[in-house]
Amino acid sequence: MKNFKARLINHKDQRRIAVEFENKPTLRQRFKKLRGAKWSASKRVWHLPDNKTYRKQFGLPIYNHNLLSEEKINQLEYFNNWLTAQRYSESTENAYLNVLRVFLMFFNHKSLADIENEDIILFNNDYILKKKLSNSYQNQFINAIKLFFKTVENRRIDVELIQRPRKEKRLPKVISKKEVKAILDAPINLKHRTILTLIYACGLRRAEILSLKPTDVLSDRKVLYIEQSKGKKDRIVSISDDIIELLRDYYKAFKPKTWLFEGQTPGKQYSPTSIQAVLKKAVKKAGIKKPVTLHWLRHSYATHLHESGTDIRFIQELLGHKSSKTTEIYTHVSNKSIQNIRSPYDDL
């Protein structure tokens, strides 16, 4: 891209693309709209995820030929194309390729044919555990290496020999209805208010709100159609008359063409970083001190549904969860049952 100079860096045990440009507000705003754009205070540079799309966009080689052998570069290319053909999400593709690139560099002295189960265990112990990398990174590695060798080498790596990290049991972050209302009432901009309202009112993920099209609003049936969300599943959620009225006002004002929510350029999808900035500004204006994220609104939607008496099986369908066990976690943060429990202190 013109006016931007890119190079590869390592940042927090991840390969990233550092991008340098003149400190002009127009260029800075243009860069911040890119998905995954972040500022590193320690390195004093803006950076992006290292993926195929950004490498092409900024004129970098798809893989660094100075670091990996030609054999491994070709196999990564093959695996990348296979993931794309199988319709894996872009985030999963990037996660798998990044961890595989690190793994293959770790054994750069070995050919693919010579890599064995013992090497997988060694990498897990001497790289992932030694560097105290996250549980999710460790699971990504195990999933990626298993699929890579099955696809590329047509041989099975016994990942069962690697002990997966114990699953962390964390409760979803939830805010009260009063706090939700304060956040939704905060934005003056109609588009911003509509985005945040729809996320909470329908329990949407960020990727889902960004992928909506005007035709997905079925006002005559009072439902919102969510196409190919997480797990490649379609689902529908109900929308009230108030939401339909809000969407009509929004549509009249902004007249979106391709996507329901578009950026400044007609037909271009709204930026993920912009939507997070919209929420951050609304939270601050509402006077809420909690570090509320977009996913907190989805968690709050599910919890408030449960507290109002909605059956957990219906909540599972509305959220698009594959397993009811995933949905049942909301019973642990719901006040519905907890408030009825009498503490033994009250009997003292």
CATH code for the domain in which residue 309 is found: 1.10.443.10
pLDDT at 121: 84
Whether 167 maps to a domain, the answer reads: no
Does residue 190 sit in the same domain as residue 157?
no
pLDDT in tens, 304-316: 887 877 777 877 7
Q: Is the pLDDT of residue 159 over 70?
A: no
Active-site choice (298, 299, 304, 306): 298
342 catalytic? Reply is no
Instruction: Give me the pLDDT at residue 162, please.
Output: 67
Q: How many domains does the chain have?
A: 2
Q: Are residues 183 and 120 in the same domain?
A: no
Q: In the listed set 161, 189, 218, which residue is the last one of a domain according to the structure?
A: 161
Residue 330 annotated to the active site: yes
Residue 228 covered by a domain: yes
Annotation marks residue 127 as catalytic = no
Q: Looking at the domain assignment, is residue 303 inside a domain?
A: yes
Domain range holding 220? 177-338
Are 250 and 113 part of one and the same domain? no
Same-domain pairing of 152 and 220:
no
Whether residues 149 and 188 fall in one domain: no
Q: What is the model's pLDDT at position 245?
A: 93
Query: What are the beta bridge partners of residue 223?
Result: 218, 238
Residue 345 within a domain? no
Distance (Å, rounded) from C-alpha 203 to C-alpha 174? 12
Catalytic residue among 205, 222, 280, 285: 205
Higher-pLDDT residue of 324 and 116 is 116
- Same-domain status, 13 and 131: yes
User: Is residue 320, in this structure, part of any structural domain at all?
Assistant: yes
Catalytic residue among 63, 96, 200, 330: 330
Rounded to the nearest 10 degrees, what angle do helices 135-148 and 90-106 cross at?
Answer: 80
Please indicate, yes or no, if residue 166 is contained in any of the structural domains.
no
Active-site residue flag, 230: yes
Whether 298 is catalytic is: yes
The reply to whether 116 and 257 lie within a common domain is: no
**Candidate list 47, 192, 304, 321, residue with the active-site label:** 321
Q: Exposure pattern of 25-47 as b/e (b: 16+ CB <10 Å)?
A: eebeeebebbbbbeeeeeeebbb
CB atoms within 10 A of CB 73: 18
Is residue 216 very low, low, confident or very high in pLDDT (cuts 50, 70, 90)? Answer: very high
| Cα separations in angstroms, 151 against 112, 121, 154, 174, 343 | 13, 20, 6, 41, 56
Q: Is 232 a catalytic residue?
A: no
Please state the pTM of the whole predicted model.
0.59
| Average pLDDT for the chain | 81
